[in-house]
């Protein structure tokens, strides 16, 4: 029967869920999701993920999920029943109308995750994205997914706004380091504000940063070139340094640093 999932509060075999061809989730990518880390037998930042999910429901006028159906203890049980308690696991929480538009379902899947902590090679994608839906982690994820898998040798593709400045990656947030200040694209830009990014900001002084500072129009190429290092973050990766960024045929390289390892070690040892 394959792997087990948590579906509307019950652990079942995933093959038992039979979505029809007219499913709103299948046809329109209608729904929201969160990707959560399980490591060292702990689930990380689940309250932050659920808060973001609820906030998106409120903004988009979607009925919020029933927390009793995604109880943390149920997720631990799901990981156990799939034989993954000793692994690093990607928990995917989906909230979507699988069968019809009026009835929303909560689905949790768990799979092994292999973290690649090497430095990242990134490419800048010159197609402008400007849409308020990108502030939410919606299941309409085709642009991000297709852009990344079409990038060839690159580990991440960085996306731009109307000002032709970088605002985020297909699956990461970008943070820039310059003179011990941590920079980010401010909230007026249409991008998903990450859970890991949020926690790094809260704890920035622990990593040697003097302060954090928002850039109203995102990261220009000139600003990127002036930075000491570039970090990419998300809930599974936690943090990775960028080795180089390609702007077309031109490449900007950055020196290797230990800051990403310091950040990863801190959260894996101290948070859950």
User: What are 208-265's pLDDT values in tens digits?
Assistant: 999 999 999 999 999 999 999 999 999 999 999 999 999 999 999 998 678 999 999 9
Say which CATH number the domain at 221 has: 3.20.10.10
What pLDDT score was predicted for residue 20? 83
> What CA–CA distance (Å, rounded) separates 115 from 136?
24
Q: Which of 58, 92, 112 is the last residue of a domain?
A: 112
Instruction: Fill in the DSSP letter of residue 86.
Output: T
What is the average pLDDT across 112-139? 90
How many domains does the structure of the chain reveal?
2
What is the average pLDDT across 112-129? 88
Q: Which of 112, 138, 164 is the last residue of a domain?
A: 112
Closest alpha carbon to 139 in 22, 15, 37, 56: 56
* 9 and 124 co-located in one domain: no
Specify the DSSP element, H or E, that contains 60: helix 46-60
* 177 and 262 co-located in one domain: yes
Q: Could you report the per-residue pLDDT of 136-175, keeping only the tens digit for each?
A: 999 998 989 999 999 988 999 999 999 999 999 999 999 9
* 133 and 45 co-located in one domain: no
Tell me the whole-structure pTM to 2 decimals: 0.95
Q: Could you report the per-residue pLDDT of 83-108, keeping only the tens digit for each?
A: 999 999 999 999 999 998 889 999 99
Contact between 132 and 91 under an 8 Å Cβ cutoff? The reply is no
Q: How remote is the C-alpha of 58 from its chain's centroid?
A: 20
* 166 and 207 co-located in one domain: yes
What pLDDT score was predicted for residue 39? 97
* 100 and 221 co-located in one domain: no
* 247 and 150 co-located in one domain: yes
pLDDT band at 272 (very low <50, low <70, confident <90, very high): low
What pLDDT score was predicted for residue 126? 87
Q: Say if residue 1's pLDDT is above 70.
A: no
Q: Which of 112, 143, 171 is the last residue of a domain?
A: 112
> What CA–CA distance (Å, rounded) separates 271 from 195?
13
Say which CATH number the domain at 11 has: 3.30.470.10
Residue span of the structural domain in which 261 resides: 120-270
């Amino acid at each position: 029967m394959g792997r087990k999932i948590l579906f509307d509060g019950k652990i079942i075999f995933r093959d038992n869920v039979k979505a029809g061809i007219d499913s709103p989730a299948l046809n329109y990518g209608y729904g929201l999701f969160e990707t959560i880390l399980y490591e060292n037998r702990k689930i990380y930042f689940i309250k932050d993920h659920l808060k973001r999910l609820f906030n998106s429901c409120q903004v988009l006028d979607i009925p919020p999920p029933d927390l009793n159906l995604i109880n943390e203890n149920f997720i631990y049980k799901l990981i156990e029943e799939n034989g993954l308690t000793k692994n690093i696991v990607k928990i995917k929480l989906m909230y979507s109308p699988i069968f019809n538009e009026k009835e929303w379902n909560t689905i949790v899947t768990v799979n092994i995750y292999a973290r690649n902590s090497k430095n990242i090679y990134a490419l800048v994608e010159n197609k402008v994205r400007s849409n308020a839906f990108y502030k939410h982690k919606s299941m309409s994820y085709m642009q991000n997914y297709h852009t990344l898998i079409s990038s060839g040798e690159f580990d991440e593709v960085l996306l731009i706004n109307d000002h032709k400045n970088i605002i985020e990656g297909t699956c990461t947030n970008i943070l820039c380091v310059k003179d011990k200040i941590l920079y980010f694209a401010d909230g007026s830009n249409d991008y998903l504000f990450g859970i890991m990014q949020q926690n790094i900001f809260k704890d920035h002084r622990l990593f040697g940063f003097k302060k954090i500072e928002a850039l109203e129009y995102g990261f220009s190429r000139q600003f990127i070139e002036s930075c000491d290092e570039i970090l990419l973050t998300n809930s599974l990766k936690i943090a990775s340094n960028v080795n180089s960024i390609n702007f077309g045929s031109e490449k900007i390289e950055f020196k290797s640093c230990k800051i990403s390892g310091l950040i990863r070690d801190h959260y894996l040892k101290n948070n859950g």
